[in-house]
Structure 1
């Protein structure tokens, strides 16, 4: 009986057939250029497959390059921020130095105008007690600072030294309720005593009668009486005058000329009279 299905060709026969077809195609392509169209068709079919095969590799390269670029940008951004902070700090420092130089020039100019011997001192601290108006300066007995010594800034009288250590001096401000200073009205020469009120930025003239010749805007300067404060230093500007007939004394308030809450540099003053007396004693 014959088999229903013919036997399949052997493996050797199939291999021989593939080799013959391949050789025939190579010869035809080389001699007659007959398979160029087939090659193009195969290339068209395989191109998307190649893209799909290469996609993971391309995606990996893109991700690696993106991460590297991100790290580079982050590092560059951090460096730029650091440079910006440094430049800002330098700019602020230069601005502070410029302001300090301006204040020192004003101090030196004021010392030249008054003609007394002076020494520049810097603020160390401010007394935080609300009932006491005092500051601490970085000059002391090693610099010949003495108790009762006048202290001024570029605008006017600040106060006087009340305590001295070898390296520091405590200054009682003119606004302290315990402070009093002889003054005169620059416009009229009227003399009186200016007393601290215990309030920031205000002093008063409690001993002038109701008929005193004084007006808002009058300038108060040191009178020189008591020989502690040299004559002619600005003290305050009259801000309020109340001449009520029912009271024996006028109520007069003034704003200190000195920048008591802003100044950082001050002048310790040796009045010329005291300097001459010390020279004679020496």
Structure 2
């Protein structure tokens, strides 16, 4: 006799709804028990311990991204701080240099005012605009011209003495040939003994010379030269320079003296242009007494 099974539709057992109800009730009971007596705390600890490595692995990409972002932000901020610090340092250095330059210029201007009081000739203060790029000429371009009364031939002086002579003039600028220019000459006296000489530019910066002196001339290293006033362009008594060496050419029968100019136009920006030099008899005795 065969055994017949009941169709699944008529199977006996606990209904799904009942199972769900009891499971839900069990969950509620467990929640209440755990809330009051921490019944499931060991289970939670164990599960947390077992899951921690997997949590770290899952969070590793995020940690890497955050670390890279923080490092990049730190580098950017550091570079910006370095730039700001360097800019501030450069600006402070520039301001300090400018302050020193202004102080130097103020000192020179005060000295020029003192020179103006000692020279009985009208003058105008000028400032160097630039130095022309002439390989064979020693000159400077000044910021004042004919509208300020400047004319060719007028002398340019500084607190140290003669700087040069106005060569060309425009309404608002003028060009001065320095005493070192090889086309420049200044009638002079040896301050020690009154010997008249003529000082020429050598064409080299920082050097002028006295040429064609006789072999028996009374001249020595350290002698100072001043303008004689002969010719009317330069007032008498202005410092020209000091003899630094003497060269004797016995074969040709003359002596040449190398002179260091007393004025240094490469070190200053402000000078005086003497607007008028009257031509008159020069008292050489008074020059020697000075």
TM-score (norm 1): 0.79
Corresponding residue SS for 1:232: coil
1-structure distance, mates of 2:37, 2:155:
118
CA, structure 1 residues 179+11, in 2 after alignment: closer, same or farther (shift >3 Å)?
farther
| Structure 2 contact 142–174 (Cα < 8 Å) conserved | yes
2:223 corresponds to 1:212: no
Counterpart residue number, 1:156:
161
Corresponding residue SS for 1:207: strand
**Post-superposition shift, 1:211?**
0.8
Query: Superposed, which structure 2 residues align to 1:98-137 within 5 Å?
Result: 98-137=103-142
Picking from 196, 199, 202, the partner of 1:191 is: 196
Counterpart residue number, 1:230:
235
Counterpart residue number, 2:6:
none
Query: Superposed, which structure 2 residues align to 1:10-49 within 5 Å?
Result: 12=16, 15=20, 18-19=23-24, 22=27, 25-26=30-31, 29=34, 34-49=39-54
| Structure 1 contact 201–260 (Cα < 8 Å) conserved | no
Picking from 183, 196, 201, the partner of 1:178 is: 183
Counterpart residue number, 1:143:
148
Q: How many residues align structurally?
A: 271
TM-score (norm 2): 0.77
CA, structure 1 residues 68+192, in 2 after alignment: closer, same or farther (shift >3 Å)?
closer
Post-superposition CA distance 1:21-64 (Å, at most 9, x none)? 54564565467665443343233333444444455555555555
| Structure 2 contact 209–259 (Cα < 8 Å) conserved | yes
1-structure distance, mates of 2:68, 2:20:
46
Corresponding residue SS for 2:274: strand
| Structure 2 contact 167–175 (Cα < 8 Å) conserved | yes
| Structure 1 contact 210–247 (Cα < 8 Å) conserved | no
Counterpart residue number, 1:279:
none
| Structure 1 contact 211–243 (Cα < 8 Å) conserved | no
1-structure distance, mates of 2:37, 2:172:
110
Moved more, 140-149 or 258-267: 258-267
| Structure 2 contact 234–277 (Cα < 8 Å) conserved | no
| Structure 1 contact 156–257 (Cα < 8 Å) conserved | yes
1-structure distance, mates of 2:185, 2:35:
121
Counterpart residue number, 2:96:
91
2-structure distance, mates of 1:196, 1:26:
111
Picking from 136, 147, 166, the partner of 2:171 is: 166
CA, structure 1 residues 29+196, in 2 after alignment: closer, same or farther (shift >3 Å)?
closer
CA, structure 1 residues 121+69, in 2 after alignment: closer, same or farther (shift >3 Å)?
same
2:273 corresponds to 1:268: yes
CA, structure 1 residues 232+62, in 2 after alignment: closer, same or farther (shift >3 Å)?
same
| Structure 1 contact 141–165 (Cα < 8 Å) conserved | yes
Q: What RMSD over aligned residues (CA atoms) do the two structures have, in Å?
A: 3.4
